[in-house]
Amino acid sequence: MALKFYNTLTKRLEEFYTINPGEVRMYTCGPTVYDYAHIGNFRTYIFEDLLRRYLKYKGFRVVQVMNITDVDDKTIRRSREEGVSLKDYTSRYTEAFFEDIDTLRIERAEFYPHATEHIGDMVALIQKLIKNGYAYEVQGSWYYDVSKFKGYGKLSGVKLDELKPGARVSADEYTKEEVHDFALWKAYTPDDGGVFWETPLGKGRPGWHIECSAMSMRYLGNHFDIHTGGVDNIFPHHENEIAQSEAATGEKFVNFWLHSAYLIVEGEKMSKSKGNFYTLRDILKRGYDPVVVRYLLLSSHYRQQLNFTFSGLDAAKSSLFRIWDFIDNLGRIELDLPHNPEVDTIIETASSGFTTSLDDDLNISGALGALFNLVRRINRLISSGSLGRDDARLVLEKLSDFNRVLDIFPRENAPIEDWILEMIKKRDKARKNRDWETADRIRDELQKKGIMLQDTPKGTVWKKR
């Protein structure tokens, strides 16, 4: 089956194609670095990680760009409230963002351009829009005249006839109810607290939407393959990006627009403004392994809303640990048996289930279903003593192949393992010295942290629970 994605632009499931053979150029709207990202944001970044990894798994070369919005209404307001420079303020949250994506095993994009380092590109783009007749000036600010762009509304479905002539919006964020001309360049005001650039357009700063048009085209060209974000980006952000880019270049901007549904809490979008959010750090403080959070965010389809609850997180943990236990058991198989042809069938079925599902607009439930089906069938062979060491290795190889896309398996030499090994060594020493009290204390301590020890003739082994 061919790879298909639901395209927000055409509003249907479409067979995927690329502009250059074998290469995917994609732009993913990145964080506004005014605070720690919440797990709603990470739901979108994990969807983009799955997309990226699956494209690579299918053999495409991927060039991904994710911007860092380090100047906009929010970053300026917050840095002023704290009385620190915009740069110092945004550097702190940019650093936190990279730490968090590493913690969640989100693969790094090829480029992370910062908005403040591309002001020249934004100015040049606005100048093109002025030249082409799409922009006008009011008191030193430049606005985009949406009535001039005939395709306005093609992504989000907003209607141009709802436009109130001459109505303008200066704020970066607004709703569908306000289909207005929007700011490309904002003239400096004292509220900007010293944040400005002196440019041919005047003294001021860019609007948020022009940032993504300028940075995407700088790294990926006027016309590229995929653009993604959360559904809240469709209007006005992505609608405005299309209007800006296509009016400036006269070319089609992007072929495939993919958007992830919200992570919600009690029926409402998780967001900073509602205060109903958890950062990744909030959750890790409660003792969850980050890969459990990854698994939860990964395991529901990106176009379905995901209702966040701690019981949901616990359920994700049990499913994930079922896979970890399975890997652990496979690694311990010592039976010397001839090859069992049933293993080939099981692996082939799982393999085709995995790719057929992901080909279908990243149907992750189907892909995980294929994986769990393999677990069940192989477990049956293990219990009946008909899985040998070499076959166990074949199964492990298939699992690592799936893990290139999922990245949810235990990692060797993870810091936690070093720490556990240290404790086990201490306990072994205590046992040798017949200091049972210390040995038992260490065992209990580990158990409280979810680490179960088992003393085998080959030494102590451990499992995470």
Given the rule CB under 6 A, which residues bind ligand AMP? 29, 31-32, 40-41, 43-44, 229-230, 232-233, 260, 262-263, 269-271
Residue 248 lies near Zn ion (rule: CB under 5 A): no
Q: How far is Cα 5 from Cα 258, in angstroms, rounded to an integer?
A: 8
With CB cut-offs between 5 and 8 Å by kind, which of ligand AMP, Zn ion, none does residue 25 bind?
A: none
Query: Applying CB under 5 A, what is the total number of residues that bind Zn ion?
Result: 2
Minimum CB–partner distance for residue 65 and Zn ion (Å) = 10
Distance CA 292, CA 275 (A): 23
Considering the complex, what minimum distance in angstroms separates the CB of residue 278 from Zn ion? Answer: 23
**Residue from 9, 24, 29, 424 in contact with Zn ion (CB under 5 A):** 29
Closer residue to ligand AMP (CB): 274 or 376: 274
Compute the distance between CA of residue 143 and CA of residue 139 in angstroms, rounded to an integer: 11
Question: Following DSSP, what letter does each residue of 231-257 receive, concatenated?
Answer: GGGIIIIIHHHHHHHHHHHSS--EEEE
Considering only the stretches 113-121, 195-203, 210-218, 271-279, report the one whose residues sit in contact with Zn ion under the rule CB under 5 A. Answer: 210-218
Minimum CB–partner distance for residue 356 and Zn ion (Å): 32
CB of 437 to Zn ion, least distance (A): 60
Helices (H), 332-409: 341-359, 364-383, 389-406
Q: What single letter denotes the amino acid at residue 196?
A: F
**Residue 381 binding result from Zn ion, ligand AMP, none, given CB thresholds of 5 to 8 Å by partner type:** none
Name the binder of 212 from Zn ion, ligand AMP, none, CB < 5-8 A by kind. Answer: Zn ion
Among 331, 320, 323, which residue's Cα sits nearest to residue 292?
A: 320
User: What is the closest distance, in whole angstroms, from the C-beta atom of residue 232 to ligand AMP in the complex?
Assistant: 5
- At 11 the three-state DSSP class reads coil
From the list Zn ion, ligand AMP, none, pick the one residue 269 interacts with, judged by a Cβ distance below 5 to 8 Å according to partner type: ligand AMP
CB closer to Zn ion, 225 vs 289: 225
> Distance (Å, rounded) from C-alpha 461 to C-alpha 262?
41
How far apart CA 185 and CA 173 sit, in angstroms, is 14
Show the tokens assigned to 181: 């001309």
| Nearer to Zn ion (CB atom), residue 172 or residue 289 | 172
The residue whose two tokens read 């550097």 is 91
Orientation of helix 341-359 relative to helix 389-406, angle to 10°:
10
Alpha-carbon distance of 303 to 260, in angstroms, equals 5
Question: What is the smallest separation between the CB atom of 114 and ligand AMP, expressed in angstroms?
Answer: 14
The entry of ligand AMP, Zn ion, none near residue 263 (CB within 5 to 8 angstroms by kind) is ligand AMP
Q: How far is the CB of 212 from Zn ion (least distance, A)?
A: 3
End-to-end CA distance of the chain: 38
Helix (H, G, I), strand (E, B) or coil at 178: coil
Measured distance CA(407)–CA(172) in Å, rounded: 35
**At what angle are helices 39-57 and 389-406 packed, to 10 degrees?**
120
Residue 230 binds: one of Zn ion, ligand AMP, none (C-beta under 5 to 8 A by kind)? ligand AMP
Residues in the chain: 465
With respect to ligand AMP, which residue has the nearer C-beta, 41 or 141?
41
For the bound state, the minimum distance from the C-beta of residue 96 to ligand AMP, rounded and expressed in Å, comes to 12
Residue nearest to ligand AMP (CB): 230
Identified binder of Zn ion from the candidate list 55, 101, 123, 212, rule CB under 5 A: 212
Complex with Zn ion: residue 192 or 239, whichever CB lies closer? 239
- Which residues contact Zn ion (rule: CB under 5 A)? 29, 212
